[in-house]
Amino acid sequence: MKDFRIEQEPKGTVQVIRLHGSLDMYSFPRLETQLQTLFQQKHHCVLLDCSQLDYIGSAGLGALIGFAKQARENNGDLKLLHVPERIYKIIELLGFTKVLQVFNAEDTAVTSFPKP
């Protein structure tokens, strides 16, 4: 059971956020604050690396959709990378993958964002 941790790494115009641990109603406000800060700084292309994530709840998923919507309205997007199989099965079953794009290769994900 890992503590929730966030790392941020810019890749050109894309901000890669690496998530560690569990994203639930308790930990999500930390990510929310980070995303709000990025959006205020006009960084609307965000890739969330989920490889070290062990759980995501609906509060987190719902909020990510809200951020993706906001990003798209500003010519950006919010996409997911390396989603563990256990989490992917759940979010696919619920239908979240219909609106959140998921990638297995970081380079492909980074180049898929709208160009400035």
Partner 1 sequence: MDSRDNIQLKKSTSRLCISAPGHGKSLRQIRVIITDLSRQIGFQEDEVAKIEMSVDEACANVVEHAYDQSRDWILKDNPKIELHIHTENDRLIIQIQDHGQGFDFAAYRPTNIIERIRAMRSGGYGIAIMRQFMDEVEYTSDPETGNTLRLVKYLKKT
Given the complex with partner 1, which of 6 and 59 has the nearer CB atom? 59
Give the helix ranges, DSSP H, for the chain: 28-40, 58-72, 85-94, 106-111
Residue 7: beta bridge partners?
A: 18
Which residue lies nearer to partner 1 by CB, 86 or 108? 86
**Site residues (CB under 8 A) for partner 1, limited to 50-89:** 55, 57-59, 61-63, 65-66, 68-69, 86-87, 89
Asked if residues 28 and 2 have their Cβ atoms less than 8 Å apart, the reply is no
* Token output for 73: 């309205």
Asked whether position 92 contacts partner 1 by CB under 8 A, the answer is no
Say how far apart CA 6 and CA 18 lie, in whole Å.
Answer: 6
Q: Could you tell me which residues come within 8 angstroms of residue 114 by beta carbon, excluding any fewer than 6 positions away?
A: 45, 75, 76, 77
**Binding to partner 1 by residue 96, rule CB under 8 A?**
yes
Determine the angle formed by the axes of helices 28-40 and 58-72, rounding to 10 degrees.
10
Going residue by residue from 11 to 50, which x/- string records binding to partner 1, judged by CB under 8 A? -----------x-xxx------------------------
* Least distance in angstroms from the C-beta of 115 to partner 1: 23
Write out the residues near partner 1 by the rule CB under 8 A.
1, 22, 24-26, 55, 57-59, 61-63, 65-66, 68-69, 86-87, 89-90, 94-96, 98-99
